Amino acid sequence: MADLKSKFLQVYSVLKSELLEDPAFEFTNDSRQWVERMMDYNVPGGKLNRGLSVIDSYQLLQEGRELTEDEIFLASALGWCIEWLQAFFLVLDDIMDGSHTRRGQPCWFRLPKVGMIAVNDGVVLRNHIPRILRKHFRQKPYYADLLDLFNEVEFQTASGQMIDLITTIEGEKDLSKYSLSIHRRIVQYKTAYYSFYLSVACALLMSGEELENHIDDDYLDCYGNPETIGKIGTDIEDFKCSWRTGKADTANVAKVKALYKELDIEGVFADYESKSYEKLTSCIEGHPSKAVQAVLKSFLGKIYKRQK
C-alpha cells in the first residue's frame, strides 16, 4: 500500500507539471507560481482515499492480473481527477461555510493575499480535470463516458450542497424543514456520489464495462447512508440538518451533547451500524459479478467503524 501511494504521489507531480505547461494558456512567472502553490496547498493534502480507491477497484476488477505501469498511471490519473474535484468542492465549501481550518491548516481563502481570489482558484481547479482527461484519455473508447461521469457527479454534488445550504439558511431556525428524507438526500447527493460511486465508476469504465450494467440505485442505498458517510463537526452550532442540531453558543452545545450522552446515541448508532453492515454485505453478495462484489466489499471495509 505504501508503494502504491508513493507511485500515486509521483503521478501527481507529473500531472501538476503538465498543467503548469498547458499550451492553452500563456503563463507568467507569477501566475505559474500562484497556481502551483494553490494546487500543492489544496489537492494532495488529504487522506487520498478517493483517488487511491480507483487503483484498488481497478486491480480488484482484474481478478488477480498484475497491472502494467501504464494501467497504474491511468488509474492514478483518474484518481487524481477525483482529488482535484474534491479540492474544488472544499475550497468553495469553506468560503460558503465561513470555515477557519481544513485538514489541520488554515482554509485557503483565509491565507494572506488569497481571500476571494479563492473563488476563481476553485474554478481553475475544476477546469484542470478536463485538461487531464483530454491529455491522457482522449484516444480511449470510454473518453466521452468519463467526461459525462465527472459532469454528472459534479452536478449531483453541487445540487446536494444547495439543499444543505437552503435548509440551513443563516438566521432562519426552521425545524419544519428538517426530516430524515431531506437529511438522506443531502448526504446522498452532497457526499455519496463523489466519495464512493465515482471511484468505482472510473475503474469500471477503464475496465471496458458499461456503468448501467453494474451500478444502480442499490449501490447508493449501500453507500448513501448518512450514518456511514456523514461528518460531524460544527453541525450543532451551524443548525445543520444532521443527527446533531442546536444553537451556536457553547452552553447550548454542551447541553445538546449531554442529552446525546443521556440517550446513549453512540450506543444506538453502534447497533445500527452493525445491523447495516450485515444488510449491506448481503446486498453486495447478491451482485452477479464476483469482481464487483470484491470492489464493493473493499469500500464497505474502509468505512465500517471508521472514526473519521
Q: What is the pLDDT of residues 217-270, one digit of tens each?
A: 545 555 555 444 333 344 544 555 554 555 666 777 788 788 888 888 888 888
Cα–Cα distance list, 233 to 152, 238, 245, 259, 287 (Å): 28, 9, 11, 17, 35
Distance CA 64, CA 165 (A): 44
Q: Would you state the cell numbers that stand for residue 130, as one nine-digit string? A: 478536463
What's residue 216's pLDDT?
54
| 271 HSE (CA, 13 A, CB side) | 5
Residue 35 backbone zone (phi > 0: left; psi -120 to 50: alpha; other: beta): alpha
Q: Encode 223-266 in three state secondary structure.
A: HCCHHHHCCCCCCCCCCCCCCCCCCCCHHHHHHHHHHHHHCCHH
What's residue 159's pLDDT?
96
What's residue 177's pLDDT?
72
Q: What is the pLDDT of residues 147-194, one digit of tens each?
A: 999 999 999 999 999 998 888 765 566 667 778 888 888 888 998 888
